Amino acid sequence: MKVTGERFIPGQMYRDAEIEHFHRYTAVQNLVNGKIVLDAACGSGYGSKLLSDSAAKVYGLDLSYEAIEYAKDRYQNEKIEYLQGSVEALPFENASVDIVISFETIEHVDGQTQRKFLQEIHRVLKEDGILIMSSPNKKLFTDDRQLITTFHVKEFYEKEFLLFLKEYFPFYRLYNQYFSKVSNIVGETEQALIPLNYDYQRKGLFLIAIASKKALTFKDSIDSCYYYPEEYSRYNDKLQIYFSSNGVYNESDCFIHEISNFPGVINETIDLENISGRYFRIDPNNVSCSLVIQNIIFILSDGTYLEGVKFNTNADKCDGSEYIFYSKDPQILFDLGKAYSIRAVTLQIKVLSSNIDLYPEYMHIINENTILRENLHHIEGLSQEGEYLKQEREQLKQEREQLKRNVTQLENLTNSQELSNKKIVAENQSLQLENDQLHDELTDITKSFDLVKSKWWYKLFNKN
């Protein structure tokens, strides 16, 4: 298959790119263990082959017939099935795939296709499945380097990438992949100690996200580093000086200088060939070490000096004037304020020790992380208990309010009954009064009747 730059082909492109591409696939091998995996836009097939080392089944999908045939010819085994197809219409049943891998694909299609692709991934993933997707960070990959990539249609800035994923996957974890002698993948929120390299910004040219429909667990992590020993070893026992106009350092813009006194006192003047730069990074060596920076002098092309320039470091600890680097990439960083033409630099650095035993520090960090996670679980437990108590309190509050309403209703009924009783008593009293009056009237009538009757009998008796 012809190298065009659209697809990565192992053995036919530069080594740094090979390390970056291989690293992404090797970093997720633990996550795909025993799973059904879709490698969307699998290209030449090398990634599908790497995934098959631990996955139960791998489907390699690509739009290109040539790429699929190339993959079948070079990276086929019994656990891989290569398919020609589009990311807009994934040829799989609903909820049939455990993991979808999409490395360096999304930027090759337009916005409409990107959304359709994400919708299709959501459809084919199982409810507890995960998506692992990478994309260039547009700011660092393109804008800062003023790079035009012919095959990239729509790249993402970091916030854009996250908003895009959240349309269908509310839970995610973001990682940065950067390369400086070795490839590193570092989580945004993880406390990580990278033993072979350290980047003080922790921002990479590539964004990698693990996304899911459900909350991710701690095991869903891909923090790692990847390198070829023979590639890395060429930097050992060498001092490196990087220069840049914008603060982004590339391996091509670097002077490598052999040093003979490490550990010990470095007191050397290094020719920089009148290079122009504002930002400089000096890496004294590629081993863990502790050192004292006594003096660094920049010699300008016109013969003048820049001395006492403020600097930053990526030291893990600072004890007075001693800087302690646990990582294997100690860095001293300078911002000269503006670009200068630099003829040479004089270094006066006292290296106190090298190849520091990192085991105690690793164990310290591991213990700290263990305690942190235990505390987090405890807090989550307290949070759940607090939520339960909150619900209980709310229920009691509702019951109390109902009881108040019942009491009020009873009081109203009681008051109503009292009023009714008073009314009845009053009515009874009124009836009693009327009865008494009727009784009196009846008594009077009876008396009158008796009188009339007596008179009638009297008259009748006298008449006879």
> In 3-state terms, what secondary structure has residue 435?
helix
Write the pLDDT tens digit of every residue in 259-305.
Answer: 766 678 888 898 998 999 999 999 887 777 889 999 999 999 999 99
Lowest mean pLDDT among 115-119, 234-238, 347-351: 234-238
Contact 169, 189 (CB under 8 A): no
Among the residues of 57-134, which ranges form H helices?
Answer: 65-74, 111-124
What's the DSSP call for residue 449? H
**Model confidence, pTM:** 0.54
Q: How far apart are CA 293 and CA 285, in angstroms?
A: 14
Write the pLDDT tens digit of every residue in 416-439.
Answer: 777 777 888 788 888 888 788 887
Q: Is the pLDDT of residue 3 over 80?
A: no
Q: How is residue 81 written in tokens?
A: 């099935």
pLDDT at position 185, please? Answer: 75
Lowest mean pLDDT among 45-49, 141-145, 154-158, 211-215: 141-145
Q: How many CA atoms lie within 13 A of 85 on its CB side?
A: 17
Pairing type for strands 289-300 and 305-307 reads antiparallel
**Cα 379 to chain centroid, rounded:** 20
Q: How far apart are CA 307 and CA 58, in angstroms?
A: 59
pLDDT at position 338, please? Answer: 93
Write the pLDDT tens digit of every residue in 309-355.
Answer: 999 998 888 888 999 887 667 889 999 999 999 999 999 999 888 77
Q: How far apart are CA 290 and CA 323, in angstroms?
A: 5
Contacts of 57 (CB under 8 A, 6+ apart): 36, 37, 79, 81
Contact 276, 253 (CB under 8 A): no
pLDDT at position 431, please? Answer: 82
Q: How far apart are CA 313 and CA 59, in angstroms?
A: 45
What's the DSSP call for residue 156? B
Q: How far apart are CA 358 and CA 98, in angstroms?
A: 38
pLDDT at position 417, please? Answer: 78
Look at 458 and 216; give whichever has higher pLDDT.
216
pLDDT at position 13, please? Answer: 53
pLDDT at position 235, please? Answer: 47
Lowest mean pLDDT among 159-163, 198-202, 380-384, 396-400: 198-202
